[in-house]
Amino acid sequence: MSVRKVRDAFVLVGGFVALIWVLQVFNWADGYRLDTEFAIYPHNVGRLADIFTAPFLHLSWQHIEGNTVPLFVLGVLAAYRGIGKFLLVSLIIMVTSGLAVWLFQSSGEPTVGASGVIFGYFGYVLIRGFFDRNLLDIGVGIVAGVLYWTILQVAIPGTPGISWIGHLGGLFGGVVAAWFLRTRTPAEVTSGGGGWRSGWTTGIRSGADDSRSAGNRSPAGPASPASPGHPGSHAAADLLRQLDDMGL
């Protein structure tokens, strides 16, 4: 985590919240016609694409006010590891939450709101640290769980006026995103020549030690693929830096 990534998370999620408020003003001024035109209608094939527009719309001022704070807080917590990864997380959550409503909601009433996305961010933040084995993220998830565990109450089946199916779909999507986008560290890298195998991360981290001990090596000895002079080590390091800059 870096200050730049935290700043980017605040800007992006703040922009998302600002956007839904601007849309709410236009929606309210137009008699909430946008809700009718871009909501999710269960089992309606022609409206399937609206799973990507419904999270930006709300039914009333009370609806958007209730969603704003948890959306911003959980959104920032989900985004501070990188914008690229956050956008993929958001896409997965929108798909699982929207499809849950489209497939399984029995009533034909239109559904809008960012609640499913909020539940997805909650599930992602809560479980991400365990998949990544990251103590900081585990701590953040515990804090988020303590602060927002009460939102799970509205996912109870039968809650009037609440699309609990969409909430559960979002929560499921957040857990899936945490698993699918978990940090993967290759255990070893195989070279194409002499069959030498070396730990990728070990090779990069031990570059300084290798350079200090270079004078003790035999000139005729084979070079490890992860040694600092080998082009593979530079390529691996460059790739990791590029992924980090992209937020992945």
pLDDT single digits (tens) 57-108: 999 999 999 999 999 999 999 999 899 999 999 999 999 999 999 999 887 7
Q: What is the CATH number of the domain that holds 134?
A: 1.20.1540.10
Domain final residue, candidates 154, 180, 206: 180
**172 and 59, same domain (yes or no):** yes
Element (H, E) at 78: helix 61-79
Mean pLDDT of 141-161: 74
Q: 177 — phi, psi (to 5°)?
A: -65, -40
The verdict on 73 and 170 lying in the same domain is yes
Express as a percent the part of the chain with pLDDT over 70.
70
Count CA atoms within 13 Å of residue 224 on its CB side: 19
0.85 surpassed by pTM: no
- Secondary structure tally for the chain: helices H, strands E: 10, 2
pLDDT at 80: 93
Could you tell me the residue range of the domain that residue 233 belongs to? Answer: 189-245
Return the closest-CA partner of residue 79 out of 6, 4, 174: 6
Residue 140 shares a structural domain with residue 216: no
Q: What is the structure's pLDDT at 47?
A: 92
Of the residues 180, 210, 231, the one at which a domain ends? 180
Joined tokens for residue 36:
């009718």
| Across 222-234, average pLDDT | 47
d(CA 160, CA 201): 52
Is residue 33 a contact partner of residue 39, using CB atoms and an 8 Å limit?
no
Angle of helix 61-79 relative to helix 3-29, nearest 10 degrees? 160
With a pLDDT cut of 90, the percent of the chain lying above it is: 56
Domain count across the chain: 2
The pLDDT of residue 246 is 55
16 vs 22: CA distance, rounded Å: 10
Which residues on neighbouring strands pair with residue 189, listed in sequence order?
198
| DSSP sequence for 151-166 | GGGGGSTT-TT--HHH
Is residue 6 within 8 Å of 77, Cβ to Cβ? no
User: For residue 158, is pLDDT > 60?
Assistant: no
Mean pLDDT calculated for residue range 114-140:
93
Q: Are residues 229 and 139 in the same domain?
A: no
Q: What is the pLDDT of residue 10?
A: 96
| 136-147: average pLDDT | 90
Same domain, 207 and 104: no
Question: What is the three-class DSSP state of 189?
Answer: strand
Are residues 60 and 78 located together in one domain of the fold?
Answer: yes
Do 134 and 31 have their domain in common?
A: yes
Task: Give the pLDDT confidence of 36-52 residue by residue, as tens digits.
Answer: 999 999 999 999 999 99
110 and 198 share one domain: no
Tokens representing 45? 């094939």
Same domain, yes or no: 117 and 145: yes
- Summary mean pLDDT of the chain: 79
**Predicted local confidence at residue 15, as pLDDT:** 97
User: In the prediction, which pLDDT does 241 show?
Assistant: 59
Task: Give the confidence band of 213 by pLDDT, cuts at 50, 70, 90.
Answer: very low
Same domain, 147 and 195: no
Average pLDDT over residues 103-125: 91
What φ, ψ does residue 200 adopt, rounded to 5°? Answer: -60, -55
- Residues found in the chain: 248
User: Residue 78: what are its φ and ψ, rounded to 5°?
Assistant: -80, -20
Question: Of the candidates 126, 152, 180, which is a domain's last residue?
Answer: 180
Crossing angle between the packed helical segments 115-132 and 135-148, to the nearest 10 degrees:
150
Examine the domain organization and report whether 129 and 209 are in the same domain: no
Q: Do 121 and 152 belong to one domain? A: yes
Mean of pLDDT values over 145-169: 75
Q: How far apart are CA 144 and CA 126, in angstroms?
A: 7
Q: Which of 61, 90, 62 is nearest to 75 (CA)?
A: 90
Instruction: List 190's β-bridge partners, or say none.
Output: 197
